[in-house]
Structure 1
Amino acid sequence: MLWPVETRSMSPVFVGRNDELGTLNEALARAEAAEPQALLLGGEAGVGKTRLVEEFAAAACRRGAVVALGGCVEIGGDGLPFAPFSTALRALRAALPDELAAAAAGQEDELARLLPEFGEAPAGRHDEQGMARLFELTARLLERVAAERTVVIALEDLHWADASTRHLLSYLLRTLRTGRLVVLATYRADDIHRRHPLRPLLAELDRLRTVRRIELARFTREEVGRQMAGILAAEPDPAQVDEIFERSDGNAFFVEELAVAWAEGCCTGLTDSLRDLLLVRVEALSESAQRVARTVAEGGSTVEYPLLAAVARLAEDDLIEALRAAVGANILTAAPGGDGYRFRHSLVREAVADDLLPGERSRLNRRYAEALESDPALVAADARVTRLANYWYQAHDPAKALPAVLAASVVARRRHAYSEQLGLLERAMELWDSAPEETRAALRPVDCTDVYPLCGCDPVTAPLRYLDLMAEAAVAGRFCGERERALKITKRALRIIEEEGDPLRAAWFWVQRSRLVQDLARGDGRQELGTAQDLVRGLPPSEVHADVLANVANWCMLHEPGPEAFAAAERAVEYARMVGAREIELNARVTLGSLMVDAGDVENGLAELSRVKENAIEEGATGVAGRAYVNLPSELDSVGRSAEAVPLLREGLAFARRHGLLDSEVWIWGNLSDSLYALGRWDEAAEAAAGALGSAASAKPRGAGALRLAHIALARGEAAEAARRLAIAHEHYGTHDPMPQALLPVARIAVGVAAAEGRYLDARAELDRALEAGFPPGTQRYGWPLLLAAAAAEADARTLPAVADGRTEFLDRLTEAVRKLTTGAPLWLAYERWTRAELHRARGTDTAALWSDVVTDFECLERPYDLARVRRRLAQVLLEEASGDDQRDRATELLRLAGAVAGHLGARPLAEAVALLAQRARLTLTTGAPHPALDPAESLGLTNRERDVLRLVSAGRTNRQIAEELFISPKTASVHVSNILGKLGVSGRGEAAAVAHRLDLFPPESADRTAAGQRT
């Protein structure tokens, strides 16, 4: 918890900062209304950040809030993993023990990675979702604790934060949505140089509207005078204020130092050097007090009293006397909790540490390490291993440092602090060659790494190898997002293995390289997987072999689904069972079940996916379970069973959030959007797509979310918005890793946008590119909507002279593609009949019988929008063939049903088409008199002249040609065109033509006569 610091050098009067304190108090008021608040407080060293936090904390406590302070701890330039959050949670546990216990119920094992008091953190295999899982559980924990009581979490010295702390803070500030919570973090702005790791985080958080950033400025001359008056307990001389203001530049800490130095009569001894200013009062201490100060400076941000006593090697009375002198001189202060000491200001500690001689520094670190080895209870358990590793490393003793660093890396891994684990493993690799042979020989993989089974060595009897460290470091780099570093390690490892000739290790590293290449957008990873496959071919079954096959099968499913993918998945399952690699087996079975559905073996494939999901949940394979929650509902939706998919997807979202499976959650959101769209719940579908965008941590899920929003916008007639979302999807998908599940939906939306904007030739070109790439087996779920969109666009443009050239050849290519695509599920069969009906419409040969079959197909499926569209088409043909009242009555009912769906969904193009068709046929869709036989163009507010102009625009005429044919000036024609664009709500001539043809504003025979006139 926060502690008061009452010293002579600190002014008892809080000076300035009224605006900043007001901002903090305003945030507290909002948090009290259950609106979580996030604030970043920056300023140079010594400017007064801590004092401001203390004043705010005191005010918050007076209002009944619980304030928990956590400070980032620097040890040798490296921060302790999650140190500020661990400290803050420990403070919360002390203040609200029952509430914290209730909030953590059921998740104590995972949360123990942050707060050891919850229990023992579980060991075992780690995955890419481990850190995300921990982050999600932490966010939910804080939301629950702050549900009824206002909680302030204050994190100080973020410039020292370890990477895991930065990642957790970023996650919290992005995802906290409920609770009476304030998260306040401070950082030293002058330390944030261009390459400082905090700099990208600050830039990222600046883009969040939910985060407010406060920058503390230096004091003005007036404020310096008030501060000095408080320190000196008297009004200072104006000349003295001028001098100190000039020398301190308004920095609060420097004002304190200079004011005290002046009061003690040693101002003449000060120099303009900052370092000398900081050291002058240390050097005024007795020799023993200076010695203690130097010892504390090298021990870290805070040094426990028992540890300090063991290292200082002074008699207890002498040590206490020295500490009393340092505390009395405001150099040291008691640490929070009263169990140790720290420098009152970190600038002084840094100056004292920098003043140590090289030999003196290593000797002090050795003393710290030896004392901690002799009595591990001298420091808290959660910091012990990391601090020991740092002390031995700074002592320059490779024999002791290597095992200690490796032990610290294991602790970091168990806490999901993968960034720190990577740094420690890189440090171990640095120490490897200089460590004695007997030290290295005594190390075992089972004690130091987590990936040894995939490297093919015996973890108990075999000595740890340098390649084992590289393997662990490569995985840690991938898990923490340092993929560039991980790729360099992987490349170096493969060069070493090439000399040694170890195919299993090489294959494992090639799999890692494939993943990293894909993650870094350097390629699709197929070549790397092929190399791994070649290396294990002919070798006895092993976990590596099974893992390679599982990765190959998954790659093929996403890129080249077909027999090779199916065979690889089956072999992966078989090999994994042989060697007892249960998680690999379950993962391969997810791939196998998905491929079975895509191949037409729907029921067996769905049953297999369901079994894997249940098995994975029972066995604690959360990553595989998350993947099953993605694939099973996706396959249900692909065969038209969207209603079954939705509750499963909701269940999957809860599972993914509970276990922190961020990647799975993002894909589940996207699949939920697809299913809700199919079921006609478009508002919910848009929310789900936005959820995918908001949660996505990588490019592909963001691209998928943008594409789904484009799909909805297109159906609602918002062509410009659809085009914008399509461009975003293109950007996120890129071109480095083409996958049918991305390329075909992108092509479908591109065709739709081009047709909506009247760019029918562009729509053809989009389909031609897709046809050139081909539809691999199993991609019918993406292929049918694309072929349908192209056929419908061609049918809408059937009377446009501009697209007459090449129409026959294009329709032939489209018909051939339809003939080849699979129709193994009722939904795919319905799409085939619909697409063939559109092709007949494009040729002018569609019939009521043809469309009636399509309507019958979709009446058996739960897809209201698709059913409304084909009902409208059937109604149109019935009216064109009308030979009696029965057909008109049926057409009326079809249009009434289609119009109701269009109105409910906000599908403006369909609603307009239904209304205009009813008007033209004098049909009554609602109770009342029949529609008058109006020209459909009048319903859009077009004058007769504008109707004539639009007819010619639809025929592809220029303004000059329109002017000549209608005997008006080109300028007048241009004005008419502008008015038409405004009334139709479109942005260009092509889009206006598209609207006219889509709504069938002009009968085909009229358009044909216009075209004929143009040809003559």
Structure 2
Amino acid sequence: MLGPVETKSVSPVFIGRAAELETLNDALARATGGDPQALVIGGEAGVGKTRLVEEFAAVAGRAGAVVVLGGCVEIGADGLPFAPFSTALRALRRELPEELAAAATGQEEELARLLPELGEATADRSDEEGMARLFELTARLLERVAADRTVVVALEDLHWADASTRHLLAYLFRTLRTGRLVVLATYRSDDIHRRHPLRPLLAELDRLRTVRRIELGRFNRAEVGRQIAGILATEPDPAQVDEIFERSDGNAFFVEELAVAAHEGSCTGLTDSLRDLLLVRVEGLPESAQRVARIVAEGGSTVEYRLLAAVAGLAEDDLIEALRAAVNANILIAAPGGDGYRFRHSLVREAVGDDLLPGERSRLNRRYAEALEADPTLVPADERVMRLASYWYHAHDPAKALPAVLDASVTARRRHAHSEQLRLLERAMELWDTAPEEVRATLRPVDYTEVYPPCGCDPESTPLRYLDLMAEAAVAGRLCGERERALKITKRALHLLEEEGDPLRAAWFWVQRSRLVQAQARGDGWKELGIAQELVRGLPPSEVHAEVLATAANWSMLRRPGPEAMSAAERAVEYARMVGAEDIELNARLTLGGLMVDAGHIETGLAQMYEVRDEVLARGLTAVVGRSHVNLPSILEGIGRSEEAVGILHEGLRLTQKMGLRDSEAWVWANLAESLLSLGRWDEAAEAAMSAQRAGQSAKPRGGGSNSLAHLALARGDVPEAARQLAAARASYGTHDPMPQNNLPMSYLALGTAAAEGRLLDARAEADRAMSAGFPPGTQRYAWPLLLAAAVAESDARAHALPAAQEGRAAFLERLFEAVRKLTTGAPVWLAYEKWTRAELDRAENRATPDTWSDVVTAFEALQRPYDLAQVRHRLAEALLATGGDDERARATELLRLTRATATHLRARPLADATTHLAQRARLSLTAAPPQSPADPADSLGLTTRERDVLRLVSAGRTNRQIAEELFISPKTASVHVSNILGKLGVSGRGEAAAVAHRMGLFPAETLTSGRGS
């Protein structure tokens, strides 16, 4: 009678959970419709989480979904990096081999960090975006695999998850947007104490509206009765149900154990201790089966059969007999895949493990480690190193544990599991002093560190030092976000170095502290960089020397550009070339090129940056791709070459998305928004700005997106929205690390918002603050709009006779004029802004004439800035109307029509209203009389003969240079004609102009065809 009962201890009837299963089924239906779903299932140990997932998996499988499972692995309390994802992806590869291979195409080397079967993982040096890149590529892989079929990815036992797994899961929950995909995870809620590492993730998921939480409660009495009936295959006695319900308190697993114990007649005398309840059936096994259970308990969540056999040391028949007894008693079950064994419930494993004596536990770990060293094929290749490190560590053998833990740290680093790498390195530092000296002497930095000793020593012959471990741990802490721990490590390292006299190594640690201080919002990091520079001053070239100089030059480019920054960048390039530090050299060349442009050497600097961009693309250098496609277009935008910038930014989007460079992608979106604003493509700019706010992990790109949205809101007359976005930008940038590229645009917005609300004195105060701080070289692109906005506020205040305009006005205008006089005008766009600002100052003094504004209009007609051109055309029209002549009125009418067309197209309400108001005051009609049957449709648009010729070539896809060659005019003149055409057609770009020409039938198809061949 006992045999059948033992095999039924898991109820064959699924009890309760109707509401929870309905929630999961609803998620499956939504996912099948193309809306990815994220769910988290929590509940105490034994409450039935796994059973619920199994039932849902069966339902999903019957509905045609592909279901893959992955479990977080506990080995001596150390989780394996990304273990559940590796298991799930491996299962997905078995189910959909061709589909997964196609989805991973081009990124196999990176994705091999999670799924080694895809190939050899790249050995690139870890960088700031390494983990984010892996996460992004994993998300895209799942989306592609689930594009045409429903996929369910279930991850169990999240309470054991390593930090990298938690970070990846959070990333997926935040970023999955497409695909027929369900991702669900389970965790044991009674284990989540106040300081449990899973608690912050659960709090974050609670804030995500896209994540559904399911909390499993205990069974009520009726459900317990049905569960007992299912286990015993008969209706239980009500008194027995009452007793089991009271003792189990509705916990499904305890109900099973108590029901079986009661049926066996062993319930009498059993204590209420949970441990005793869990061990009662284990202790009823034959001694050999109990011994095997103890071995399995210490081996991890799952133990492979061959490994178990090697550790148990039993004859094969005896081992199989012991396993059969444990399986028949439902203590052990075969692991998924059939290659090993695990406890049916982790609570039993924990109870058996806790029952081991300390010496017994360390002895078992030693036997596991020795067996695995003797035959590494006993466990999967991607788990081998980590498990060996855990076994030796818990065997309390420092001589064996130290190298094993260091090997595991290297594996963790290569998988971008920097949280686990940091923990392992800290464990290595703990073992360092207890490991024998002869063991430490055999260790080499080339084998265990990316950060080689910066002392010029040969890493293959120099012994590994404790400071090398500290250096590696500091970088790992920075990369995984454990910056406080990393700061403490650098502090201890620098304290040790005070007695060693190793300036290069000390300088390297000061550079790390600079980065950490900035990341922790504790300062701008310059003090630390200054110390590093002093330490390397006068030393021969080295990689550390080059890195210090390159970091200082980049810092200065963003905050204090000038001759010192350029000198540091030049020396960084030179030193990096001498020592073969490729990444440092390329980054330093990007910095140098930007500084050269800022200093007025525009073409030389751009050539330097283009060379870097081309090298990066040709050699596929992931570490520099992001920066090359952020800095170069930013510089181009700064000198008014917005169209050129947009082309590189679109290329940057393609590359950063393909490579999973999510933070770099956010910067590309932010810069794209800025360039699209300049080009008058405002709706596209708004979309790009919102993408910048969504895309990255870092705050500053979000600040750039908020800045662009605030600019757009201000231009469209939505002052409250501009103020809201300005506040968002300030929050994103913070106050600990001020940069002109952030502060000056925010000052512009604050000034513009104050002026729009009629707060002239506040606008002046904002301008005064900016002028007092000064405008370093390279800040012209931000300084000119700011000074212009101040001048516009003053000229409008005078035009509208605002009372506040008089007080302090003369002194302020003098300060403003002095700032204008000193600011650089080395690029056409800066020169145009200077003319506009001076014209506004003349208008503020009632000195502006039509000639003044004509010069400004001519300057902007050569630029691709339709909104700016419309604004200065409005000013010219105003000046012409002030003269009162008929010719001037006719010209003003045409200018105002062009201005209104642009303002209407851009939805720039303040400019449109001002144009209408000016026309009404002057009694001008901006509605052109219908032409009398024009011979040519182009006449209805007011195009001149030359403009008609240019439009024909624009419609044929010609560039300005090609137009110039065909019409025998200069490229600049062609550009002016194109700008005039865009204004007359009321469009913002060449494509729209071509569409208008096609719609009106201006140029027959044969004309365009013949034009392409000319």
The reply on whether 1:810 has 2:787 as its aligned counterpart is no
Question: 1:994 maps to what in 2?
Answer: none
Q: In the TM superposition, what whole-angstrom CA distance separates every residue of 1:716-740 from its partner, at most 9, and x where no partner exists?
A: 1111111111112112222211110
Separation in structure 2 between the aligned mates of residue 838 and residue 510 of structure 1, nearest angstrom: 49
Q: In the TM superposition, what whole-angstrom CA distance separates every residue of 1:930-980 from its partner, at most 9, and x where no partner exists?
A: xxxxxxxxxxxxxxxxxxxxxxxxxxxxxxxxxxxxxxxxxxxxxxxxxxx
Structure 1 residue identity aligned to 2:42: G
Pairing 1:193-592 to 2, within 5 Å after superposition: 193-452=193-452, 454=454, 456-592=456-592
Separation in structure 2 between the aligned mates of residue 772 and residue 239 of structure 1, nearest angstrom: 86
Pairing 1:763-778 to 2, within 5 Å after superposition: 763-778=763-778
Q: Judging changes above 3 Å, is the alpha-carbon distance between structure 1 residues 282 and 783 closer, same or farther for their aligned structure 2 residues?
A: same
Q: Judging changes above 3 Å, is the alpha-carbon distance between structure 1 residues 495 and 453 closer, same or farther for their aligned structure 2 residues?
A: closer
Partner SS for 2:268: helix
Structure 1 residue identity aligned to 2:152: V
CA contact (8 A) 1:453 1:543 kept: no
Following superposition, the deviation at residue 6 of structure 1 comes to 11
Question: 2:987 maps to what in 1?
Answer: none
Bigger mean CA offset, 159-168 vs 116-125: 116-125
Question: 2:886 maps to what in 1?
Answer: 885
Structure 2 residue identity aligned to 1:886: D
Following superposition, the deviation at residue 418 of structure 1 comes to 1.0
Bigger mean CA offset, 43-52 vs 426-435: 43-52
Partner SS for 1:186: strand
Question: 2:43 maps to what in 1?
Answer: 43
Following superposition, the deviation at residue 928 of structure 1 comes to 6.0
Structure 2 residue identity aligned to 1:237: D
The reply on whether 1:899 has 2:900 as its aligned counterpart is yes
Question: 2:922 maps to what in 1?
Answer: 921
Question: 1:637 maps to what in 2?
Answer: 637
Give 5+ residue unaligned stretches, structure 2: 931-1014
The reply on whether 1:114 has 2:114 as its aligned counterpart is yes
Separation in structure 2 between the aligned mates of residue 222 and residue 793 of structure 1, nearest angstrom: 77
CA contact (8 A) 2:170 2:201 kept: yes
CA contact (8 A) 1:385 1:404 kept: yes
Bigger mean CA offset, 309-318 vs 294-303: 309-318
CA contact (8 A) 1:830 1:858 kept: yes
Partner SS for 1:183: strand
Partner SS for 1:664: helix
Structure 1 residue identity aligned to 2:868: D
Following superposition, the deviation at residue 245 of structure 1 comes to 1.9
Partner SS for 2:190: helix
CA contact (8 A) 1:474 1:486 kept: yes
CA contact (8 A) 1:623 1:661 kept: no
Separation in structure 2 between the aligned mates of residue 196 and residue 689 of structure 1, nearest angstrom: 37
Pairing 1:723-802 to 2, within 5 Å after superposition: 723-798=723-798, 799-802=801-804
Structure 2 residue identity aligned to 1:616: V
Partner SS for 1:187: strand
Structure 2 residue identity aligned to 1:892: T
Partner SS for 1:753: helix
Separation in structure 1 between the aligned mates of residue 346 and residue 772 of structure 2, nearest angstrom: 65
CA contact (8 A) 1:879 1:891 kept: yes
Following superposition, the deviation at residue 456 of structure 1 comes to 3.9
Following superposition, the deviation at residue 237 of structure 1 comes to 2.2
Q: Judging changes above 3 Å, is the alpha-carbon distance between structure 1 residues 16 and 456 closer, same or farther for their aligned structure 2 residues?
A: farther
The reply on whether 1:857 has 2:859 as its aligned counterpart is yes
Following superposition, the deviation at residue 454 of structure 1 comes to 4.0
- Output the aligned Cα RMSD: 1.5
Q: In the TM superposition, what whole-angstrom CA distance separates every residue of 1:641-699 from its partner, at most 9, and x where no partner exists?
A: 11111121011011111112222111111000001111111111111111111122122
Q: In the TM superposition, what whole-angstrom CA distance separates every residue of 1:549-597 from its partner, at most 9, and x where no partner exists?
A: 0001001001100111111100101111111212211110000111111
Partner SS for 2:434: coil
Question: 1:870 maps to what in 2?
Answer: 872
Partner SS for 1:281: coil
Following superposition, the deviation at residue 898 of structure 1 comes to 1.2
Structure 1 residue identity aligned to 2:694: G
Separation in structure 1 between the aligned mates of residue 170 and residue 196 of structure 2, nearest angstrom: 16
Structure 2 residue identity aligned to 1:819: R
Separation in structure 2 between the aligned mates of residue 301 and residue 99 of structure 1, nearest angstrom: 30
Give 5+ residue unaligned stretches, structure 1: 930-1016
CA contact (8 A) 1:455 1:468 kept: no
Separation in structure 1 between the aligned mates of residue 583 and residue 925 of structure 2, nearest angstrom: 62
Following superposition, the deviation at residue 7 of structure 1 comes to 4.3
Q: In the TM superposition, what whole-angstrom CA distance separates every residue of 1:209-247 from its partner, at most 9, and x where no partner exists?
A: 222222212222222221111111112222222222222
Following superposition, the deviation at residue 207 of structure 1 comes to 2.0
Following superposition, the deviation at residue 802 of structure 1 comes to 2.6
Separation in structure 1 between the aligned mates of residue 547 and residue 6 of structure 2, nearest angstrom: 62
Q: In the TM superposition, what whole-angstrom CA distance separates every residue of 1:461-518 from its partner, at most 9, and x where no partner exists?
A: 0000001111111111111111111111111111111111101100111111111111
Bigger mean CA offset, 490-499 vs 19-28: 19-28
Question: 1:826 maps to what in 2?
Answer: 828
Q: In the TM superposition, what whole-angstrom CA distance separates every residue of 1:733-788 from its partner, at most 9, and x where no partner exists?
A: 22211110011011111111111222221111111111121111111011111111
Following superposition, the deviation at residue 927 of structure 1 comes to 4.1
Structure 2 residue identity aligned to 1:846: A
Q: TM-score if structure 1 supplies the norm length?
A: 0.89
Separation in structure 2 between the aligned mates of residue 438 and residue 356 of structure 1, nearest angstrom: 33
Bigger mean CA offset, 121-130 vs 68-77: 121-130
Following superposition, the deviation at residue 11 of structure 1 comes to 1.2
Partner SS for 1:153: strand
Question: 1:24 maps to what in 2?
Answer: 24
The reply on whether 1:840 has 2:842 as its aligned counterpart is yes
Separation in structure 2 between the aligned mates of residue 924 and residue 46 of structure 1, nearest angstrom: 81
Q: Judging changes above 3 Å, is the alpha-carbon distance between structure 1 residues 769 and 775 closer, same or farther for their aligned structure 2 residues?
A: same
Percent of aligned positions that are identical: 77
Question: 1:676 maps to what in 2?
Answer: 676
Structure 1 residue identity aligned to 2:673: S
Structure 2 residue identity aligned to 1:147: A
Structure 1 residue identity aligned to 2:864: E
Pairing 1:80-99 to 2, within 5 Å after superposition: 80-99=80-99
CA contact (8 A) 2:152 2:182 kept: yes
Following superposition, the deviation at residue 357 of structure 1 comes to 1.3
Partner SS for 1:452: coil
Q: In the TM superposition, what whole-angstrom CA distance separates every residue of 1:584-628 from its partner, at most 9, and x where no partner exists?
A: 111100001111111121112111111101112223321212101
Following superposition, the deviation at residue 439 of structure 1 comes to 0.4
Structure 1 residue identity aligned to 2:140: R
Separation in structure 1 between the aligned mates of residue 826 and residue 124 of structure 2, nearest angstrom: 43
Separation in structure 2 between the aligned mates of residue 456 and residue 843 of structure 1, nearest angstrom: 66
Bigger mean CA offset, 583-592 vs 323-332: 323-332
Structure 2 residue identity aligned to 1:807: R
Following superposition, the deviation at residue 453 of structure 1 comes to 5.6
Following superposition, the deviation at residue 124 of structure 1 comes to 4.1
Q: Which runs of 4+ in 1 moved over 4 A?
A: none
Partner SS for 2:155: strand
